[in-house]
Structure 1
């Protein structure tokens, strides 16, 4: 919705301390648009901000595991053989991947 459609203005007076708290909450959420933040809070009363650091770590582990699998597959096609150590490394990567996924799901379930 554009600002042109939002033609009704609502003014809000706050103390300096309240203003600082609002700015602190906005900073925690990573937003700089005060109008959008206040509108969202007034309408929904709740903003959920998810820390995606765990998801980024999961993606990193997934990328490492995928790369290992691709390298292993290429080597098997080239040489026709596979080493137990390679399979063990891949298994450990998958264990880390599933462990990270489980941890994320437990944290999300607790929200």
Structure 2
């Protein structure tokens, strides 16, 4: 029961009675992608704020954001390929 992350015995028994099985997924990669997405969103907001205040934005900032977003897409593709292999 602890291996699948359910601490409540009644919840475990209900799930087993209804479905007969429990699927436990390791969501650490998803959590990491969400964390990176938050960072990119915060950076994008800062860049937008700076562009609104000054009327310009640095090319290095755009390239930094583009690199981070490319990394996010790579991680998302890897994750989706993994989900596609689930029977």
Query: What's the TM-score, normalizing by structure 2?
Result: 0.85
1:79 aligns with 2:54: yes
1:100 maps to which residue? 75
Question: Which of 26, 36, 41 is residue 61 of structure 1 equivalent to?
Answer: 36
Matching of residues 28-47 of structure 1 within 5 Å: 28-47=3-22
Larger Rg: 1
Task: Output the CA distance in 2 between the equivalents of 1:36 and 1:67.
Answer: 38
Matched pairs, number? 86
**Unaligned 5+ runs, structure 2:** none
CA RMSD after TM alignment = 1.5
Shift of 1:35: 4.2
Greater helix percent: which structure? 2
1:30-71: per-residue Cα shift (whole Å, max 9, x none)?
112334424433442321111111111111011010011111
**Unaligned 5+ runs, structure 1:** 1-25
